[in-house]
Chain A
Amino acid sequence: AQKVTQAQTEISVVEKEDVTLDCVYETRDTTYYLFWYKQPPSGELVFLIRRNSFDEQNEISGRYSWNFQKSTSSFNFTITASQVVDSAVYFCALSAGRGSTLGRLYFGRGTQLTVWP
């Protein structure tokens, strides 16, 4: 079975603070993909990053960074020097399986991040 857990329902920080959003996944497949999406108040899901299971190299994109650790089945997302515009719901997702389930995304419940000025 495929499962994604985002234990943090809501996080509030003050602007310029660093914040880490946790994501833990479960899958028995050896080949899988992990994603992070941002959902601002407008509602549209915005793709942030995709990583495959064979690439554990951490990635940095501007103020965003991702830490993928297979040993702990985690794919955490850190925002450095947070800004008010970062306020949104962030979803972690897993794509695994084959055959009829290929391409299906399994989402966590999301973490509501609020950044106060």
Chain B
Amino acid sequence: GAGVSQSPSNKVTEKGKDVELRCDPISGHTALYWYRQSLGQGLEFLIYFQGNSAPDKSGLPSDRFSAERTGGSVSTLTIQRTQQEDSAVYLCASSRLLGQDNGYTFGSGTRLTVV
């Protein structure tokens, strides 16, 4: 597609439920990134994919968080047993190649509210 698409744009869930957030990167972009933006924490890195593999999972906050990418395209970020502190905007970005000299294109994010 023309840009990075994220769905849903807003999600309200009850504490303890599981949620899935979806990211559809720009066609042909091999690298995909997930970031979280929450009040007081700024933008924090969660995970990135090069193709379908995730070399760096160090940013995932806990084992309740997982992510996968299939077909080198769509990625899903799953949060199990959601907690109120998971409330944040989850941003996805993609770049044509992995590397410092390539710019990212960000999606509009998914605003997650855990009640």
Hey, which bits of chain A sit against chain B, CB under 8 A?
31-33, 35, 37, 42-47, 50, 52, 91, 93, 95-96, 99-110
Contact = CB atoms under 8 A, between A and B. Distances in A.
Interface stretch (B14-22, B64-72, B80-88, B104-112): B104-112
Chain B interface residue bracket vs A: 20 to 34
Given A43-B89, A44-B108, A103-B98, 13 more contacts: A32-B100, A33-B100, A43-B111, A45-B106, A47-B103, A47-B106, A50-B101, A52-B101, A106-B45, A107-B43, A109-B42, A110-B42, A110-B43
Identify the 3 closest CB pairs spanning chains A and B, nearest first. A107-B43, A45-B106, A100-B56
Interface of B: 31, 33, 35, 42-45, 48, 50, 55-56, 58-59, 89, 91, 93, 95, 98-109, 111
- By secondary structure, the B interface counts as strand
B11 to A, nearest CB: 14
